[in-house]
Structure 1
Amino acid sequence: MRRSKAVTAFALLTSATLVLSACGGGGTSGDQGGQQNADPGKIGAQDEVFQRPKVDDIGEIAIAVEEGFDDYQNYIGASNSFANTIALSNVIPSPYFTDFVDGKLVIKVDGDLMESIKVVSSDPQVIEWKVRKEAVWSDGEQIDCDDFYLKWLAATSKATIKGDDGTEVSIWDATPTGYENIEKIECSDNDKTVKTSFFKDKPYADYRGIFSTPGSDGLLPAHVLEKQTGIADIMKVTPEQNDDQVKKAAEFFTKGWRGYNKDLSLSGSAYMIESTDLKDQTVLVRNPKWWGNPGGPARVILKTNTDSQSATQQLQNKEVAVIAPQADPAVAQQLRGDSAFTVFAAGGQTFEHVDFNMSLPLFKNNKELRLAIGQCFDNQGLVDKLIKDVDPNATPLGSLVMMPNEVGYEDHYSDLGKGDVAAAKKTLEDAGWKQGADGIYAKGEFRASFKLGHKIVQRRADTVRILQDKCKQAGIEIIQDQADDFNSKRLTASEFDAALFAWVGQPLKAGAYGNYASKDAGGSGNYNLYSNKQVDEKWKAANGELDYQKRLTMMNEVDKLMRDDLHSIPLFQLPDFAASDANIGPIAYVGVGGGVTWNLFAWQKK
């Protein structure tokens, strides 16, 4: 999410930010985020191990996806997008893997990459990561401690530059969440064993989300950066440095891996990128250096199709075998009625929301306007008209940090989203706003009118139209502002009045910190420029709380603070949706794991 989609739960982006989502998807059905994290400080604790199964070769598979791959470097604020996760989840190596078991997300150790990941001390917290001896990048260089160190360096470097708003921001454009708790990294066993020692007073409960947002983030080839920058050993560059060497490293990290270059954009997983036009088509093939069981599809063609009906037509015409379009009611009903196809639909971790640009005087100086907008929003109408036919259990969303089917969920927005015209008008009038001859309220230099920007997606256009209705009756004008590059360019540059988009979440929550933290406190994904130091402090404290129940309470306290600020209004949990030829499977959708491609390697012909 990046823009289009986005990510969160107790983790994200470079290990800590939500991914933007263009369409839907993100989680699973059933309870999510259960007791797996209950005792993250237990000595010797290790999650279940996942290994890719041995399967038959099924040849070439074509998939229609809603948004095209455009960036190999998907782990910085400027490029973080779910569209890239679709391809990279089977390319970038990640110590943890998000499995989908009996309708639930289960975070497991990726046993193809890792021998083990263990808690070896809890005071101070020390985690030992053992990389498999045979694990190598697609150029034959080993995956090792240097790659872990690079992610830590990028997240914790003290080198900064002035951002557009005048604040000091990291030259690496990477969120520090989780990494900043690590005091040192030590390597042994020919650099295949990595030991991360956390500061004594800074344990990190969601350590599973560093070096890997399960399925969405992962390691980058440090040796490529070294070769391209002339840095002999990245591990000799320290977080405290602020010289030409660290600037050179950051320059490559933020720009050298952008887009796609076959010599630089390496794979450390089952597939590699063979070719891409960075828009309409990306081709994946098996990685010849992969040491695990080869995936079922030998060649995968990701075809971009932003239109749900058109993608359905492609599936029916056998131009593609699998589609992952927007959760469109008509498409869902159409395909469910035909035994030739299999449909997957369930409430996931992806959620739609509207963010106000908090640097804009209209919103920054008028909290009552933000409240009135929330009051005139008709969230139930959105669910009934856009979501119910896909997921009958869908309800309006009342939290920015948890989904309705997660342990610990509390609704803090129940007083909003009811399409209450009278309440919205009263809020404005009590604050001195006057309704003009054109029906729109105004106060001094301000007029209750704003553009609501979003990527060109039919459901989002419909969302704006539904929101416009009640708000217009309340004297608030919402102007449709859609653009194909809204997520990839304008959203990340904060060039909007208000933005309608989705974050793709996950069972870990610490990573979402980077989406809401102040820019100068690590908010690399904070596109609406929101800032509340109390939120920064409480979220950081929650990230270091090893008691599961206490952490849930603290996360809800953070959400209440954001509800009071009303910088963002949650709309609804977006159903994960995918469909396929009934002869191909198993097909499911795990947004944090790459959407419909999360288990690509296991696909078989029935």
Structure 2
Amino acid sequence: MPARRLGRAAVLALAVALAATACSSGGGGSADTAVKSEAPGQGSIDINAKPLDQIRDGGEVRFPLYQWITQWNPFQVDGRYGDAVEIMRAVEPNLFTTDEAGTFKPVADYLVDAKVTSTSPQVITYKLNPKAKWSDGKPLSYLDFKADWEATNGKKDGYNIADSAGYELISAVEQGADPAEVKVTFSEPYADWQNLFRPLIPAAGIATADDFNKAWVEKIPITAGPLKIGTADKTAQTLTLVPDPNWWGAKPKAERIVFRVMSQSATTQAFLNNEIDYATAGTATAYGQLKDAKDTVIRSASPWDEVHISFGGGGALEDVKVRQALGRALDRNALIKIANNGVPVEFKPLGNHIFMPNQTGYQDNSGEWAKFDVAAAKQLLDGAGWKEAGSGQPRTKDGRPLTLHWVLNESTPQAQVDLATAAQAMWLAVGVKVEVDKVAANDFFTKYVNPGKWDIASWRNTDSFPLSSSLTNFRLPQGDNVFGNYSKLGSEEIDGLLKKAAGTIDPVEAAKLYNQADARIWELGHTFELYQRPTVVAARKGLANYGAFGLASTDYAKVGWEK
């Protein structure tokens, strides 16, 4: 699951210096010379889609939750955990959804209309559904849009924001012709405006920095969605969504949706024990146990979901040559085979940090940086001053051994543990000793990744979509805020390319800029992409409108059981 949280202080000057070194080094991918991939089938989705009249009223649907959710404000740096954002879009105004092709669609329960009404400057006019009201009785209005913008544009002290992308380009939020019309004016063009205010958060809930950071901890004070929180039992680690009787749209189908916290590896047995109705089947072990289980259907699709190995920016890894060497020492195809073993869907190498292979504009920019070459890796380490110390021994420099620590979530599936073990051996072959430290699942982000207490780590980034949202993963830190860039590595050039791309309305021209940025990210040795992770899941037979979504968003109000 993704997590975009606040990290410790980052040394901005160091990040810039590293970026300058990276840009001056030789080799690597180029967005102009990259090999373009074949375009796989786009718009993949497998959710047993059913119209509402074919779904039973009532009943209970049970889902796993991989981590207890503490911070519910999706604009706050600790509130970006993937399941939290999805749930918030069921209980707060989700103005736009995406279909299986990743295309934005307005939600009529909230919007009568929303469109660009001026291009110079860019102005978006939203016409709100007059029926839409917050749980405190107030109608949705421009005041909510204005509060969200002011809280997240990065200009207010004390607001620990997750990402200012898009919001920092807004110059004004005003009432339009009437209280149900909102005019949002941009200082610069912004292509992905439909992804802003998703969800919309009430002004009353974020009136102060204290409210923004703390009022949504362990609670959701105000809602305006088809569902609301029924119970949240931290002791039992269960969370229940129930229909909101004040909802003005079509009534949700399920009587309740129950989320139960468990490790990903525990979902297999929980599904077989009929404790949950959905489980991941993306590993050989899970798939083998679930594929022939009674009343079970396997569903799969290609979402925005990537598995990577991240490199930190401290210690020996301050030197870009060392990070580049780590990438050159990895036999990526061998690592992917380990992860893919026993899973029915092929895991293909991912050559891009921003696009998935089933998105228009994808190209492989990895170039030499993901090309397995032991000699090249050793040469880079030699150039960084790390001297060989004999077979099976770590290199040394100034009397220090080249020893790095890979922090691994203890609930990591066995296939990923095997992948880490194989990577250890590959790195030791070039003189880099990597020690794997398993840590508690609930501590992985909060105590290690977020504060920067790691050299190497691996996690999934999911739903970094639309394209402009990729900025948070790679932008230079600002003071204590690392956004989603836990490596704290970046450059002004990368930031500039990503921001320019986000303001480019022509998708072809935008894709060129994003790919130029991606080539620089590869060269920087920031993240070693492994593969796009297909969604392979087991669903209880008869479960409708849920499963493998691809690039589409979840609509929990439509989830239920076939008649």
TM-score w.r.t. the length of structure 2 is: 0.85
Question: Are 2:138 and 1:185 equivalent residues in the alignment?
Answer: no
Identify if the C-alpha distance between structure 1 residues 454 and 96 changes in structure 2 by more than 3 Å, giving closer, same or farther.
farther
Q: In 2, are the aligned partners of 1:579 and 1:587 still within 8 Å (CA)?
A: no
Residue 551 of structure 1 and its aligned partner are, at CA, apart by 0.5
Identify if the C-alpha distance between structure 1 residues 526 and 442 changes in structure 2 by more than 3 Å, giving closer, same or farther.
same
* 2:276 equivalent in structure 1: 320
Residue 518 of structure 1: SS of its match in structure 2?
Answer: coil
For 2:116, which of 115, 119, 128 is the aligned residue? 119
Residue 407 of structure 1: SS of its match in structure 2?
Answer: coil
Question: Are 2:117 and 1:131 equivalent residues in the alignment?
Answer: no
Unaligned runs of at least 5 residues, structure 2: 6-39, 45-49
Q: Distance in 2 between matches of 1:192 and 1:445?
A: 68
Question: Are 2:404 and 1:450 equivalent residues in the alignment?
Answer: yes
Unaligned runs of at least 5 residues, structure 1: 6-28, 34-50, 161-169, 213-217, 227-248
Structural RMSD (CA): 2.7
Identify if the C-alpha distance between structure 1 residues 592 and 149 changes in structure 2 by more than 3 Å, giving closer, same or farther.
farther
Q: Distance in 1 between matches of 2:476 and 2:81?
A: 20
Q: Distance in 2 between matches of 1:172 and 1:52?
A: 41
For 2:42, which of 22, 26, 31 is the aligned residue? 31
Q: Distance in 2 between matches of 1:343 and 1:502?
A: 22
Question: Are 2:291 and 1:336 equivalent residues in the alignment?
Answer: yes
Q: Distance in 1 between matches of 2:196 and 2:86?
A: 20
| Larger deviation, residues 405-414 vs 532-541 | 405-414
Identify if the C-alpha distance between structure 1 residues 554 and 281 changes in structure 2 by more than 3 Å, giving closer, same or farther.
same
Residue 153 of structure 1 and its aligned partner are, at CA, apart by 0.3
* 2:193 equivalent in structure 1: 207
| Larger deviation, residues 112-121 vs 497-506 | 497-506
Q: In 2, are the aligned partners of 1:32 and 1:407 still within 8 Å (CA)?
A: no
Residue 67 of structure 1: SS of its match in structure 2?
Answer: coil
Q: In 2, are the aligned partners of 1:380 and 1:418 still within 8 Å (CA)?
A: no
Residue 134 of structure 1 and its aligned partner are, at CA, apart by 0.8
Question: Are 2:347 and 1:432 equivalent residues in the alignment?
Answer: no
| Larger deviation, residues 202-211 vs 417-426 | 417-426
Matches within 5 A, 1:478-493: 478-483=434-439, 484=441, 485-493=443-451
Paired positions, count: 517
The alignment-based identity, stated in percent, is 24
Q: In 2, are the aligned partners of 1:345 and 1:391 still within 8 Å (CA)?
A: no
Identify if the C-alpha distance between structure 1 residues 586 and 52 changes in structure 2 by more than 3 Å, giving closer, same or farther.
closer
Q: In 2, are the aligned partners of 1:68 and 1:278 still within 8 Å (CA)?
A: yes
Residue 297 of structure 1: SS of its match in structure 2?
Answer: coil
Q: Distance in 1 between matches of 2:447 and 2:118?
A: 44
Q: Distance in 1 between matches of 2:427 and 2:360?
A: 33
Q: In 2, are the aligned partners of 1:182 and 1:198 still within 8 Å (CA)?
A: yes
* 1:198 equivalent in structure 2: 186
Q: In 2, are the aligned partners of 1:351 and 1:504 still within 8 Å (CA)?
A: yes
Q: In 2, are the aligned partners of 1:52 and 1:292 still within 8 Å (CA)?
A: no
Q: Distance in 1 between matches of 2:51 and 2:504?
A: 33
Superimposed CA distance per residue, residues 197-248 of structure 1 (whole angstroms, 9 cap, x where no aligned partner): 122xx11111112112xxxxx111212344xxxxxxxxxxxxxxxxxxxxxx
Instruction: In structure 2, give the amino acid aligned to 1:131.
Output: L
* 1:566 equivalent in structure 2: 525
* 2:23 equivalent in structure 1: none
* 1:285 equivalent in structure 2: 242
Residue 189 of structure 1 and its aligned partner are, at CA, apart by 5.5
Identify if the C-alpha distance between structure 1 residues 287 and 498 changes in structure 2 by more than 3 Å, giving closer, same or farther.
same
* 1:149 equivalent in structure 2: 146
Q: Distance in 2 between matches of 1:414 and 1:604?
A: 47
Q: Distance in 1 between matches of 2:561 and 2:478?
A: 48
Q: Distance in 2 between matches of 1:591 and 1:489?
A: 31
Matches within 5 A, 1:173-572: 173-188=161-176, 191-199=179-187, 202-212=188-198, 218-226=199-207, 249-260=208-219, 264=221, 266-278=222-234, 280-308=237-265, 310-323=266-279, 325=280, 327-338=282-293, 340-358=295-313, 360-364=314-318, 366-387=319-340, 389-390=342-343, 392-417=345-370, 419-436=372-389, 439-444=393-398, 446-456=400-410, 457-458=412-413, 459-483=415-439, 484=441, 485-520=443-478, 524-572=483-531
Residue 517 of structure 1 and its aligned partner are, at CA, apart by 1.0
Residue 351 of structure 1 and its aligned partner are, at CA, apart by 0.7
Residue 318 of structure 1: SS of its match in structure 2?
Answer: coil
Q: Distance in 2 between matches of 1:409 and 1:205?
A: 18
Superimposed CA distance per residue, residues 162-187 of structure 1 (whole angstroms, 9 cap, x where no aligned partner): xxxxxxxx634242211122211111
Residue 287 of structure 1 and its aligned partner are, at CA, apart by 1.2
